Chains A and B, each alone.
Chain A
Amino acid sequence: MSDVVTVNHAPTAKQSGQVVKALEASANRVDWANHLFKYLFMLSAFIGVFSVGLIGYFLIKEGMPALSYAGVTNFVFGMEWVPPVLFGIAPMIVASLISALGAVVIGVPVALLTAIFLAEVAPKRVADVVRPAVELLAGIPSVVYGFFGLVIIVPMVEKVFNIPAGNTLMAAIIVLAVMILPTVIAISETALRAVPRSYKEGSLALGASPMFTIFKVLLPAARSGILAGVVLGIARAIGETMAIIMVMGNSPAMPRHLLDSARSLTANIAMEMAYATGLHSSALYTTGIVLLVFVMVLNATLLYLNREKAR
């Protein structure tokens, strides 16, 4: 090799015979690894799509009998849950929506301010302590959140509102608000950090204060990412089961206010699945269909919001 390229001469574009041979051989080879990986990627993507399809198919197949027995209207708007005669899940729908919404109303502002703190305000040393703490929150099993709710939140609700039983919508909202924090914080912080540094510099260089910069440039620029975090937070709240069962009281009647006991869609399925048979069992699958529809609506909302942004 050294006879081709020497230190004193300018390097030439000529490669040695060995190199040329190796390159020619490579050019004529069929690249199997390339094909293999292409199909491996495709297969992996297909597994996710296939699972969603399968879950949807079985939910509908199993839930159909109860749905045709009660009718969509009676099922979704019915106020009475008396299996195996009356399958009205309106109280559960309301409980699920209210608890998720309440969790968002309390949790999202806290999460957003935390994300701003971590991304923009906190000194690196402080952020390096707070961030792992928040991430740890995501790793706590929901049954442990249930304990936390049972031991702290439920008695607190009893005391503050002076009611005999603290297992209420209110307790569930507070527990869920804490549970969605890590999701919303992590995604919002990532979105804030992804905002080009040049926006921030441009704003500060115009004499704008750091706070003005955060609220007028950084937050709007991170909007779609933050919304994604909020929607995932709602999905987490709607889908949460164990913690809710432990703190919400689970009575299937329509809650009249936040200090009523209530039962979520998820709790309805989890609590009765063990002993339900026939139509009753089918009705629980139908409850699952309703949950699935909620999640689909949420995702569609997210797509729509982001499309608006991209326009």
Chain B
Amino acid sequence: MNKFDVKDLNLYYGENHALKGINLPIPERKVTALIGPSGCGKSTLLRTLNRMNDLIENVKITGNVSLDGDDIYQERNVGGLRMKVGMVFQKPNPFPMSIYENVAYGLRAQGIRDKKIIDEAVENALRGAALWDEVSDRLDGHAFGLSGGQQQRLCIARAIAIQPEVILMDEPTSALDPIATHKIEELMEELRKDYTIVIVTHSMNQAKRISDKTAVFWMGELVEHGETAQIFNSPQDERTKGYVNGDFG
């Protein structure tokens, strides 16, 4: 079952043709890794999936991105789409408020005021992000007091607090040290059971370790996609071969 279906997607930043005729199915409850050299369009594709590209002026999109069969670019309620499709960014970006308020934010944004409901959601989300044991005694502490890895897990908690179906991750560990990275990867092993995960990563090893499917991008084109093992062990395209062998990129 495919969660997303990207069909003939073209994206232009002004004159710059950033995504060229992308066709990519993204399966449900699997981890799909998008890899490729810098500027190849993988982050751009990720941001079309929750329409974050809408924030940039002069973006033109043609083609079709559907979530559970519905074209997300026909959808009027972008907020509703983004509730279903959560996002974790490259640099941990907690809000300048308490740990508790960070996690509660998405619920408050939906007008939920009942403290009991929010308390429960915050605890569940923090447990789900493997952060509860570390912060349960200081929920009112400022989020900036956490380490980088903890902040990133807080951002994951914040995203899963509103029950998304998909989590998009844009190089979620590139700003973290190896131990924090390991914790996030462990967490992703848990999250994959409940969520569809799409991750952009520069680390080939990370893609190999955590993903089921891999899609390789090259200068705005999708050159190859398929089972991760197949992409890394028997790549079909010369460019994929060069990239996964570390010859360039």
| A interface residue numbers (CB < 8 A to B) | 124, 196, 198-199, 201-209, 212, 216-217, 220-221
Contacts and interface: CB of A to CB of B under 8 A. Distances in A.
Nearest to B96: A221
Given A196-B93, A199-B93, A205 B50 contact: yes
B11 to A, nearest CB: 18
A210 to B, nearest CB: 9
Specify the main secondary structure of chain A where it touches its partner: helix
B96 A207 contact: no
Contacts of B83: 206-207
Contacts of A212: 109
Nearest to A212: B109
Contacts of B159: 205-206
B108 A216 contact: yes
A216 B106 CA distance: 11
B52 A203 contact: no
B95 interface: yes
B87 interface: yes
Question: Top 7 closest A-B pairs, CB basis?
Answer: A208-B109, A207-B83, A198-B93, A205-B87, A206-B106, A207-B82, A207-B79
Contact of B52 (A204, A208, A217, A221): A204
B235 to A, nearest CB: 31
A199 B89 contact: no
A212 B82 CA distance: 14
B173 to A, nearest CB: 16
Contacts of A203: 95, 105, 109
Interface string B165-206: 000000000000000000000000000000000000000000
A221 B93 CA distance: 13
Nearest to A208: B109
B86 interface: yes
A24 B110 CA distance: 66
